[in-house]
Structure 1
Amino acid sequence: MRPGAWGRPPADGGQTLVTNEPLCLHSYWRSSAAYRVRIGLNLKGLQYDIAPVHLVRDGGDQHKPGYLDINPQRLVPVLQHGQRLLRQSMAILEYLDEVWPDKPLLPATARDRQRVRALAEVIACDIHPLNNLRVLQYFERDWGVPQPERDVWARHWMQVGFEAFEALLQDNPATDTFCNGRVPTVADCCLIPQVYNARRFGVDLAPYPTLLRIERACLALPAFEAARPERQPDAPDTSPG
């Protein structure tokens, strides 16, 4: 959870970025957006604390007045860096890359950066919003959609997105050990949490062999292993007894 040391900040137009201020991630153990940021923080080797935000219990901590001051969108994650509150997982990951450029999460060339961002947005913009907790809760609360039908909805859009993602990876010379090249990028930070979600909803992943191969490579790395939902301090205790 707290590997590594602080990196060096880049030049910032004469403004010094204080990189030794504490980092605290407002997170829910099973949130895929928070999972992305945990992976990014771990890949950077940054120390951070977790401030749990339970999205379900007692109507959800995200709806309480204290949290609304942190994020009026009622979403996780929020990364607090010193006194700054940083919102939206993709913007947070790019912030990490700009403030701590060591172990970059984006490739060196414009063409590869565009590809990585596009792959990440397939997950973050096209798949994830359709199976987000608040969408499924709305179906249940306002439309009375039964659980089995909500699950069919979630599986459908994950399968549609994964079919495209698999096609974008297959036979592309930039695809290697990871989504782009031989080091993880923001595309991998997004992919692994969505594969975790797909398993939760019972998606058949056999048609996506490239995704599964990349998942194996990612989960072999300590940064990904430490970010797994079941390893978070707010994860339910499933130990016997």
Structure 2
Amino acid sequence: MTVAVEPYRERPARIAGADLWTRTAEGGEYRILPDGCMDLLLMDDDLIVAGPDSRAWTGSAPRGTRYAGIRFAPGAAPAFIGVPARELLNERVRLADLWSPNRSRRLLDRIRAAPDRATALDLEVAKLVEEPADRLTAHVLRSVRSGLLRGTAGVSRLAGTIGLSERQLHRRCLDAFGYGPKMLDRVLWMNVALDHARTGLPLADVAMITGYADQAHFTRDVKALTGLPPKILLG
């Protein structure tokens, strides 16, 4: 039997800042890059929580394995999952191991009974998200994206703007994102840089416009976080 392999697709989810995505595995090994996010995955017939990654996640799946997922905005998933992000760093865990068996089974049964499981996942998760966005999390993300953390004094500047010590800020970031503010900055800016590189922009120019010291610095950071230098990673 020939298994039709669907390409990766994504669209905005019903939760603010989240994406709903689907794909069917081509078979063999795959690599997922760190992006500061956590996902709730429907993988065949089970719900899996993908924690934040500090390095590339490599795995394999038989051809035809179907996935649907909600990719939460950075820092948003712990309130829904009920577990600090630091406890799920670089982990893939069944939702049933984090929630009560009855609660996770009821959610899974509603999704599996739907004709379109990806849409059902989106709807059911949106119904369960009640807590408003954490102000500290939002402030940290704005600061990272504005470039405030670039440079050696970035973390102390950020801590000063919100009235926390650097240690307190680090602890709060571990709970929200799975890693501290400096690591969050590295991960998010690496993804910005890689998006620029995918357009065909020379790597030296990418490094310059995204705040790396030079192309060599960019290359080292990408290799440290993904296991591959950008030229090989982007193929």
Q: Is TM > 0.5 for Structure 1 vs Structure 2?
A: no
Bigger share in helix: 1
Bigger share in strand: 2
* TM-score, with structure 1 as normaliser: 0.28
The structure, 1 or 2, with the larger RCO (C-alpha pairs under 8 Å, 6+ apart) is: 1
